[in-house]
Every structure is written in structure tokens, then in C-alpha cells.
Chains A and B, each alone.
Chain A
């Protein structure tokens, strides 16, 4: 089955950019989309965007358009989430999650805590 392993926690200053990685492995990666979902303390899950592992096509939730970029390194099956101009409200745990199209997210990364300090 697919496994997703994320990069470690980071602390960033307001206004900086942060990049989180998610390495996908497994025999059944074909057809998977990898999405990014975040959760701030005391808040619910918030969808940010997706990338198709086969085509590299991406899509972003409206709230994050212009500030989020999702890319991939096809040679290592690593997906990157870059969030620019971070602010305190971006402090959250960021998860990558996999799904074969518009279905349930059946695999999740372990989460990466991003802390934004002023």
C-alpha cells in the first residue's frame, strides 16, 4: 500500500516562506492524487490543494491561491508544499493525504508542525 512520510517540524518568521515535503512510496502509486490539508490548534481540517502524481497537474483552494505552490520531484516521488508570506494564522500541522481521484483520502502522512513567530 501507499505510504507517505513528511519532513520535520519548522519554525519560521512572519513573512518568510516554508516548504514541507511528503515522500510517497508503495507499489500502487499509479493514479494517486496527493493533497495537502492543515489543522491549526483547536480548529478543523482545512483543504489547501492537490497534485496528480502521474501528470503533475495541480489545483488550489481559493483561499490559498497565489500563496501556495505544490510541486513534485518525480524521480523520488516527493511532493512539496510551499507556503509564502507566512503569518501567525498559518501556524498549524500540515498533512499530505492520498486519494485515487475524487474519493476518500485513504492514506495520510504523519503531519508536520509549522510554527510562525513574529
Chain B
């Protein structure tokens, strides 16, 4: 089955730029979605189809996807951005159609 690999943690100072990667074989051929999950809360979609933002998500959140790596970029990081981030794709494997990355803990220093 398809595997998505994320770094366990990323740390960044306020005001700086955070980049969270999601690796997978030829992931550039797939649509990647990103979710933010804060402690005690449900996941929230922050990017869909690699780079599109749902209504209400600030333009500080952006994305790219090429080759074997998709990237979520958060510009001008704020303390309130601290959370776990997960990438997700759909797979053609009917036994496991939805694949999540292992998650990345974003720490704002």
C-alpha cells in the first residue's frame, strides 16, 4: 500500500517560515490534502489539491507538490499555528483507499 512520510517535528521562531514535507513515491501525480489538528480539537482542512485554501484559511498557508515531495509552507508563523499537521492522499487500493502521513508536530519557539 502507498506510504506517506513526514518528519516527526518542525520548530520555528515566530515570524519565520515553516516548511513541512510529505514524501511519497511519485506523490506529484496525486492530489495532496493537509490538515491541522490542535490538542483537543478535530482536524481542520488547511489545504486541498496541493495548494488550494478553504474559506477562512489565511494566505500564510501555501503548498506545492512535485516529484516525490509535497510541502506545506506556513509564512509569518504565529504562536497559534502550533499544532500537528497531516498530509493525506487517496489511493487506488480499494483495501486502503485513504492514506495519511504520520504527522508533524509544529512547535513555535
Contact = CB atoms under 8 A, between A and B. Distances in A.
B54 A44 contact: no
Interface residues of A, number: 24
Interface residues of B, number: 24
Contacts of A37: 43, 98, 100
Contacts of A106: 45, 48, 54
A88 B104 CA distance: 25
Contacts, number: 63
Contacts of B49: 103-104
Majority SS of interface residues in chain A? Answer: mixed
Interface in B3-44: 31, 33, 35, 37, 42-44
Contact of A44 (B31, B42, B103): B103
Interface string B44-56: 1100110000100
A59 interface: yes
B42 A105 contact: no
24 contacts: A37-B43, A39-B37, A44-B86, A44-B101, A44-B103, A45-B35, A45-B37, A45-B86, A45-B88, A45-B100, A45-B103, A59-B97, A61-B95, A61-B98, A62-B96, A95-B42, A103-B31, A104-B48, A105-B33, A105-B35, A106-B45, A108-B44, A109-B42, A110-B42
